[in-house]
Amino acid sequence: MNSKFRVTLLGTGVPIPRPDRFGPSTLIEAGNHTVLIDAGRGATMRLFQLGIPIGQIDALLLTHFHSDHTVGIPDLWLTGWLNSYFGNRRRPFNVIGPVGTRTLMYHLEAAYSRDIEIRVEDEKLARENVAISVKEFTEDGVVYQAGELTVIAFTVDHGDAIKPAFGYRIEYQGRAVVISGDTRYNANVLRYGEHADLLIHEVAMARPELLGEAAIQRIVNHHTSPQEAGRVFAQTKPKLAAYTHLVMLASETIKPPTTDELIAATRETYAGPLQVGEDLMSFEIGETIAVRQN
């Protein structure tokens, strides 16, 4: 029995095209199963850095439709199809997400239809391995199951206009990892975050002098402040709390908050174990949680 249960942050960023924080994407390895939560910018490059063939991904699960969480999909889908050590998918591309996933994938297929025709004819790539299999869901519940791996989707609150929006609870051999998705402080994260070994939460922060701007207010209102995330961690008491999707707001004249400031703000409401995520940081979920920076 393979008891490996590892989570790796492929991208901890947001729409800002920073080379050190790629778009949101989280890799889950549980036994022989490999799934990805969201596919932001650069997800394939991070997989390559880890030596994981793109074609090895069993399923891609989407939290919501903001482009920073989905722009990596065509790369994952089409590069994963290529007949080489970094690709090599031998089955359809499996995507699971809220209603709207089918439309997104249908149009991607249309957009890349010429490339697909060309490669089928020229490279003799198998058409069945570029086919897309979509499963949509509408409500909280189990959305993926493979062996002892279970993935449960739960509704979160990313703002009134940004629906649907989901988080995920991933269970494997009695251990659990919860990913908040993009959300404001939300009771459902508390409910599904109960008894989680690792709770990975999004966070947004801006310096006080920036908070007066309407555009900044709007962004902050779609996310969770460090003090609120601290409350989530204090109430759910995971073995380890970690941040990803760091919305550190800035302007041309005002610098983004630092990691130290993010930690200090979280400490106003939470005193337990805390890790600020970095790209390629991994968490080995065992009796304790081992953190490694790849």
Residue numbers at the binding site for Zn ion (CB under 5 A): 66, 182
For Zn ion, the closer of residues 129 and 180 by Cβ is 180
Of 6 and 66, nearer to Zn ion (C-beta) is: 66
Nearer to Zn ion, 96 or 204 (CB): 204
* Neighbouring residues of 102: CB distance < 8 A, sequence distance ≥ 6: 134, 136
User: Shortest Cβ distance from residue 4 to Zn ion (Å)?
Assistant: 28
Distance CA 93, CA 80 (A): 9
Task: Report the Cα 157 to chain-centroid distance in Å.
Answer: 16
Least separation in angstroms between residue 66's CB and Zn ion is 3
Q: What is the DSSP string of 228-262?
A: HHHHHHHHH--SEEEEEEEEE---SSSPPPPHHHH
**CB closer to Zn ion out of 66 and 175:** 66
The residue assigned the tokens 């939560």 is: 37
Report in angstroms how near the CB of residue 51 gets to Zn ion at its nearest.
27
Q: Which is nearer to Zn ion, 171 or 182 (CB)?
A: 182
Residue with smaller CB distance to Zn ion, 130 or 165: 165
For residue 68, the minimal CB distance to Zn ion (Å) is 5
Kindly state the smallest distance separating residue 38's Cβ from Zn ion, in Å.
8
Least CB distance to Zn ion at residue 201 (A):
12
Count of CB atoms within 10 A of residue 140's CB?
16
CA atoms within a 13 Å half-sphere pointing along the CA-CB vector of 211: 9
Q: Tell the smallest beta-carbon distance from residue 120 to Zn ion (Å).
A: 35
Please identify, using beta-carbon distances, which residue of 6 and 222 lies nearer to Zn ion. Answer: 222
DSSP string, 179-204: E--S-SS-HHHHHHTTT-SEEEEEEE
